[in-house]
Amino acid sequence: MPSPLDESPDSTPPAGACQITLRALEGEPLSDPRIRDMVIATAQALAERHGVKVLGTSTTPTSITLQLNIGRIEAIGFAAELRRSTTRWYTQKYGVATLWGEPARDDDDAGEEWKQA
């Protein structure tokens, strides 16, 4: 099963940039224009707040892909913060558990429930 936080191989970002994709594991939440617009606005605001330039944005009904002018590690952190921020908004607004879904846990994850607190 794909992770809701992964790097997308769909296209190659420009030199010195990184491309990340957040993907919903269930449903098509970004097919709703209000949700899609809020996720895009949150990405733009997060980028502005941290001095990151968004070089490109694309969405599908299940995902958002961003090209950012930062390295891979920074882009993973950006995606994690975008996921956290948008999930918080979505759960408070719609009263559901998650926007992006939770990946299935591996046996290797046993004993790490404290990370979910």
In a domain, 114, yes or no: no
Q: Which residue range is the domain that position 62 belongs to?
A: 5-100
In a domain, 108, yes or no: no
In a domain, 116, yes or no: no
How many domains, in total, are found in the chain? 1
- Residue 113 class from Cβ within 10 Å (0-12 exposed, 13-18 middle, 19+ buried)? exposed
pLDDT band, very low/low/confident/very high, at 103 (cuts 50, 70, 90): confident
- CATH no. for residue 54? 3.30.70.1290
In a domain, 41, yes or no: yes
In a domain, 12, yes or no: yes
- Identify any residues that bridge with 49 across adjacent strands, giving them in sequence order: none
Predicted pLDDT at 104: 76
pLDDT tens readout for residues 25-62: 999 999 999 999 999 999 999 999 999 999 999 999 99
